[in-house]
Amino acid sequence: MYSMYQHTLLGAYINAIILLFLQRVLLLVASDVDALCACKILQALFQCDHVQYTLVPVAGWQELETAFLEHKDQFKYFVLINCGANVDLLEILQPEEDTFFFVCDSHRPINVVNVYNDTQIKLLVKQDDDLDVPAYDDIFREEEDEEEDSEDEGDGSEPSEKRRRFEEEVIERTMNRRQRREWEARRREILFDYEQYEYHGTSSAMVMFDLAWIMSKDLNDMLWWAIVGLTDQWVQDKITQMKYVTDIGILQRHVSRHNHRNEDEENSLSIDCMRIAFEYDLRLALYQHWSLYESLCNTSYTSASLKLWSVQGQKRLQEFLADMGLPLKQVKQKFNSMDVSLKENLREMIEESANKFGMKDLRVQTFSIHFGFKNKFSASDIVYATTSLMENIEKEGHETTNFIKALDSLSRGNLDKLHQGLDLAKKQLRAIQQTVASCICTNLVISQGPFLYCSLMEGTPDVKLFSKPVSLCLLSKYLLKSFVCSTKNKRCKLLPLVMAAPMDVEQGTVIMVGIPPETESSDKKNFFGRAFEKAAESTNSRTLHNHFELSIIELKTEDRSKFLDALISLLS
């Protein structure tokens, strides 16, 4: 019986690493940028210590199970990155007694079985990550035998005494059963509250970097990957603003530790060395690799605030540019070719004007990387590029080929892949903005009562792009932001959004995501995971809950309407 749950401290994990020297490890990595970054850091650590490993990308629960079944005879140690924390792993995978799982996952809430099992499952979490796990006694209970032990006792006892004892026992047993039922009801309630909302904890890449730091094996490269992992969480709106700022502060300390030589003019490093710098940069997507105008049009924050889908919005954009004194011709050409005099105080100028137009958060704390004379990238650039590479629909290869390409692009030697990713990202952002504009102008976002709903039709341009989960999530978030700015209905502004897009025309499936409402102080907690599960159960819809994010599902097109009806009644 435990009074407090135990989870593996990062220090204790080091002992496990020593065990791993003689063993081979299987890495199962989910398909998101944070996982890719964590994977890169872990690979570097393993290579440093000559730990033999095999890396298998997994896109969902089915792939995870398949990979596990294929490899379980050959490996005893499994490392799961950004997958596996939020379900009962032992039940799903049914591993042998001597198999160990190390889970580094930012998905919360962590399944209670995973938390309290300290033999086979080791969770990598940061010490100050608040898990809020219910107490052990509230959810687990040893079976107490209800013995009927007074049958043959006391031959010499009198019948009346026996009857009294019998009555007492019946009363006791009824009391026990009632206690049991109460306990179980309370347990269901506790578990329901605990598992109701999905959210995200610290980025896995940051946890891995912390591990590297504790082992004194951290490098500037690994720090950059940790930064990209955190920025991915911010771009995809998975963490709160406060958490982001706190984590940036943590990383800032590491950045100054690794990169302080750049400030010293005399002893500074050669220009070819990689350096990371803290920036209070503009929140415009890819603006240094695009033109300022394009970036302003295709970033959700500016596009939503200026309402660029309408004619007045376009006029406001022109006013905004005029207010800053930036000629249109300059602004429309490639950023690198803009006049140096204009670029000098660009950030402060834009911030000042943005404040006048109601955009108070146009600047954000982030980091950028330099190596060589030409190569300067901001963390969010890398996130967009890698995401587009991973969800690239242009080449129909093996599913894992895109994963491998995206993984490669994170290494500095593969600049060509990174540039390809940047081009794809530009296309993706443009497609998102155009789709958002058309949805708003044609009033495709309708209120269903407890939530807003938008469905993309079959023939919409670029709809194939949105058959991928991360792209669809990005689209949904941008759409919700823009919708909130465009609607006058106060109630609608606080509603969450459910978005559907055609996934596979031949098989007749639709991909559906649910995102939490867009408010200033949102805690980013998403209840759609459980809601989707319940709605699917109650209508017997043919759904596939394959993604590690439970709020993304696939379902058959025919079942869509009854599923939605069930969802509406469930949430009303």
Partner 1 sequence: MRQALEEMRALYERNQADVSEAKSGRTDLIFLIRFRHCCLLRNQRCLLAYLYDRLLRIRALRWEYGSVLPNTIQFHMSAEEVEWFNRYKKSLATYMRSVGGEEGLDLTQDIKPPKSLYIEVRCLKDHGEFEIDDGTTILLKKNSQHFLPRWKCEQLIRQGVLEHVLS
Q: Interface with partner 1 by CB under 8 A: which residues?
A: 24, 43, 46-47, 50-57, 70-71, 73-74, 398, 400-401, 403-404, 408, 411, 413
Cβ pair 237, 524 in contact under 8 A: yes
CB of 229 to partner 1, least distance (A): 17
- How does strand 552-556 pair with strand 543-544? antiparallel
Distance from C-alpha of 246 to C-alpha of 242, rounded to nearest angstrom: 6
Q: What is the DSSP letter of 50?
A: T
Cβ pair 84, 124 in contact under 8 A: no
Distance from C-alpha of 13 to C-alpha of 21, rounded to nearest angstrom: 13
Cβ proximity to partner 1, 411 vs 447, nearer residue: 411
Residue among 37, 16, 47 nearest 82 (CA): 37
CB of 73 to partner 1, least distance (A): 8
Cβ proximity to partner 1, 77 vs 320, nearer residue: 77
Distance from C-alpha of 81 to C-alpha of 403, rounded to nearest angstrom: 14
Query: Which uninterrupted H or E stretch holds 160?
Result: helix 159-196
| Cα end-to-end distance, the chain, whole Å | 41
CB of 408 to partner 1, least distance (A): 8
CB of 81 to partner 1, least distance (A): 13
CB of 208 to partner 1, least distance (A): 16
For 60, 137, 239, 489, 519, the CA distances from 358, given in Å and listed in that order, are 41, 51, 24, 20, 16
CB of 48 to partner 1, least distance (A): 10
Cβ pair 200, 238 in contact under 8 A: yes
Distance from C-alpha of 326 to C-alpha of 318, rounded to nearest angstrom: 10
Q: Which long-range contacts (CB under 8 A, 24 or more apart) does 206-210 make?
A: 206/126, 206/230, 206/247, 206/250, 206/251, 207/10, 207/38, 207/104, 207/124, 207/125, 207/126, 208/37, 208/38, 208/41, 208/42, 208/45, 208/104, 209/41, 209/254, 210/10, 210/126
Cβ proximity to partner 1, 24 vs 165, nearer residue: 24
**Residue 219: what residue type?**
L
CB of 93 to partner 1, least distance (A): 17
Residue among 23, 199, 27, 171 nearest 103 (CA): 27
Cβ proximity to partner 1, 53 vs 199, nearer residue: 53
Cβ proximity to partner 1, 46 vs 234, nearer residue: 46
Distance from C-alpha of 530 to C-alpha of 378, rounded to nearest angstrom: 36
Cβ proximity to partner 1, 43 vs 438, nearer residue: 43
Cβ proximity to partner 1, 46 vs 483, nearer residue: 46
Cβ proximity to partner 1, 401 vs 569, nearer residue: 401
Cβ proximity to partner 1, 72 vs 525, nearer residue: 72
CB of 27 to partner 1, least distance (A): 9
Cβ pair 71, 56 in contact under 8 A: yes
Q: Is 93 exposed, middle or buried (0-12, 13-18, 19+ CB in 10 A)?
A: middle
Residue among 284, 300, 302, 303 nearest 292 (CA): 284
CB of 223 to partner 1, least distance (A): 16
Cβ proximity to partner 1, 60 vs 109, nearer residue: 60
CB of 83 to partner 1, least distance (A): 16
Cβ proximity to partner 1, 226 vs 338, nearer residue: 226
529, two tokens: 């995971």
CB of 128 to partner 1, least distance (A): 32
CB neighbours of residue 288 within 10 Å? 18
